[in-house]
């Protein structure tokens, strides 16, 4: 009997992400179905991420997929995700996907998973998770105000100001809370930020000319007002993205928006004060990406706040194991294209959960208009999904979670910050 999930073809094309940059989209066809997936791109990247594309860029990646990848994958069973992903590693032969490109590998890996799900007539999250009895819908962690590399000169140094709603009865309510904060914040910024033009950064968050703490005060005010109106608890978080303003030569953090520098200890004290004073729920990359010990010290002191590593871990099992040993964080960002395949990202999420860390599925600043990340968040057991608030490429993830909630809500209760 012929297996309907046998791969028949693997095709690629060049498309554009939300920043207008070229990226790769892949279609995988089986005997009984098909899957399509594309790769996002980050602007704030950890130095240990895989290479996005080979030296020749997207066009070389597409050519290599045609000449090298497709011949090896045709005939494999898309149901065997691990085999597909191991084959991609074998074809590339490097530690960082520098020959094929990690984005190429990710798009192929995800398209193959989608093709298998299509063939079986099941949602992608069920295809990847297998066992679905303990799955949850993630809480949306929404970027409402941006700075750093996602905004421009004059914006805050901190990269993202985030909100997450607790005590919600549904994913829809939790997402609507983030939407309301974004809207309320826009009005507050018109009053508080000189010359505010309602400009936005790469991820649809407001990008005002404000200092770091001025921005935090505005976000906290908007969150407080929406909390009272909706009857939920909207909490605030930060993605400091500290590596982006760390001066490795001088060993200081350069706060360009405030025209000052802070040494490592001063910076740590500053971040800790913000956590305590504003009762932050979440802080991502509070220190530069090599400072495991500093992360551990801050994690020990910052009770009640998730300390999350992104550039610190880059979804790498090896990096995550080091962080677990040092107790360097209580949460980890899971970005599949940082490691190249769905299997690699799934292993990182499992390792995090098994070690008591909270895995958080995350978008990239240069996204594509598809909802696969919603399924990965559910399949990987992520209590939180960080995917923005506004912008078609961000809303695509939220809308997909609304569809999942509508169709599977009874079997998929909403997660909480404590799960």
The pLDDT tens digits for 31-80 are 999 999 999 987 666 677 889 899 999 999 999 999 999 999 999 999 99
Give domain status of residue 126, yes or no: no
Mean pLDDT of 412-417: 87
101: left (phi over 0), alpha (psi -120 to 50) or beta: left
Reply yes or no on whether the pLDDT at 292 is more than 80: yes
Mean pLDDT value of segment 198-218? 92
Q: What is the pLDDT of residues 218-249, one digit of tens each?
A: 999 999 999 999 999 999 999 999 999 999 99
Catalytic residue, candidates 149, 335, 386, 397: 335
Task: Give the pLDDT confidence score for residue 2 in this predicted structure.
Answer: 62
- What's the pLDDT at 46? 66
Q: Which domain holds residue 301?
A: 139-408
Q: In what order do the strands lie in the sheet with 246-247?
A: 246-247, 252-255, 260-263
Mean pLDDT of the chain: 93
Residues 117 and 168 occupy one common structural domain: no
Local confidence band at 343 (pLDDT 50, 70, 90 cut-offs) = very high
Share of the chain above pLDDT 70, in %: 97
136 vs 153 pLDDT, higher one: 136
Percent of the chain with pLDDT over 90: 84
Of 93, 121, 149, which residue is a domain's last?
121
Q: Is residue 218 part of a domain?
A: yes
From 91, 121, 151, the end of a domain falls on 121
The pLDDT value recorded for residue 1 is: 44
pLDDT reading at 358 higher than 60: yes
Number of domains in the chain: 2
Mean pLDDT of 380-402: 96
In a domain, 223, yes or no: yes
Catalytic residue among 25, 203, 347, 393: 203
Catalytic residue status for 203:
yes
Instruction: Give the C-alpha distances (Å, rounded to integers) separating 129 from 235, 312, 376.
Output: 30, 26, 9
How, if at all, do strands 331-334 and 252-255 pair? unpaired
**Residue 336 per-residue DSSP state:** G
Tokens of 325: 């040993």
Q: Tell how strand 22-30 and strand 34-38 pair up.
A: antiparallel
Residue 178, in any domain of the structure? yes
Alpha carbon 171 to chain centroid, angstroms: 18
284 belongs to the catalytic site: no
Q: What whole-number distance in Å separates Cα of residue 206 and Cα of residue 226?
A: 17
Residues 286 and 280: beta-carbon distance below 8 Å: no
On whether residue 418 sits in a domain, the answer given is: no
Tell me if 417 is assigned to some domain: no
Same domain, 293 and 400: yes
Say what the pLDDT of residue 129 is: 92
**127 domain residue, yes or no:** no
CATH assignment of the domain containing 304? 3.20.20.120
Same-domain pairing of 271 and 331 = yes
């Amino acid at each position: 009997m012929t297996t309907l999930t046998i791969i028949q073809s693997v095709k690629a094309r060049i498309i554009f992400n939300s920043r207008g940059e070229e990226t790769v989209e892949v279609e995988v066809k089986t005997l009984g179905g098909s899957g399509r997936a594309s790769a996002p791109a980050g602007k704030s990247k950890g130095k240990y991420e895989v290479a996005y594309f080979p030296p020749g860029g997207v066009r070389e990646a597409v050519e290599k997929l045609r000449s090298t990848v497709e011949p090896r994958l045709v005939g494999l069973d898309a149901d065997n995700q691990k085999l597909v992903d191991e084959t991609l590693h074998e074809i590339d032969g490097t530690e960082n996907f520098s020959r094929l490109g990690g984005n190429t590998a990710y798009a192929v890996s995800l398209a193959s998973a989608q093709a298998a799900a299509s063939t079986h007539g099941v949602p992608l999250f069920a295809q990847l998770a297998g066992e679905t009895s303990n799955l949850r819908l993630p809480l949306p962690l929404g970027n409402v105000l941006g700075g750093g590399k996602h905004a421009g000169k004059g914006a805050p140094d901190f990269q993202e100001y985030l909100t997450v709603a607790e005590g919600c009865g549904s994913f829809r309510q939790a997402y609507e809370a983030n939407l309301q904060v974004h809207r309320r914040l826009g009005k507050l910024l018109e009053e508080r930020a000189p010359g505010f033009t309602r400009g936005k950064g790469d991820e649809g968050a407001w990008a005002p000319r404000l200092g770091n703490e001025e921005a935090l005060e505005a976000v906290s005010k908007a969150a407080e007002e929406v909390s009272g109106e909706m009857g939920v608890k909207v909490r605030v978080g930060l993605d400091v993205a500290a590596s982006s303003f760390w001066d490795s030569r001088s060993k200081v953090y350069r706060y360009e928006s405030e025209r000052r520098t802070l040494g490592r200890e001063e910076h740590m004290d500053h971040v800790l004060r913000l956590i305590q004073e504003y009762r932050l729920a979440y802080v991502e990359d509070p220190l530069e990406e090599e400072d495991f010990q500093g992360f551990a010290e801050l994690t020990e002191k910052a009770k009640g706040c998730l300390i999350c590593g992104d550039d610190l871990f880059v979804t790498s099992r090896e990096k995550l194991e080091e962080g677990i040993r040092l107790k360097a964080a209580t949460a980890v960002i899971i970005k599949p294209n940082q490691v190249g395949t769905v299997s690699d990202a799934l292993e990182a999420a499992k390792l995090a959960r098994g070690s008591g860390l909270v895995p958080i599925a995350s978008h990239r600043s240069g996204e594509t208009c598809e909802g696969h990340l919603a399924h990965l968040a559910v399949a990987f057991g992520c209590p939180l999904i960080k995917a923005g608030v506004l912008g078609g490429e961000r809303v695509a993830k939220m809308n997909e979670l609304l569809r999942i909630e509508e169709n599977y809500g009874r079997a998929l209760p909403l997660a909480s910050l404590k799960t």
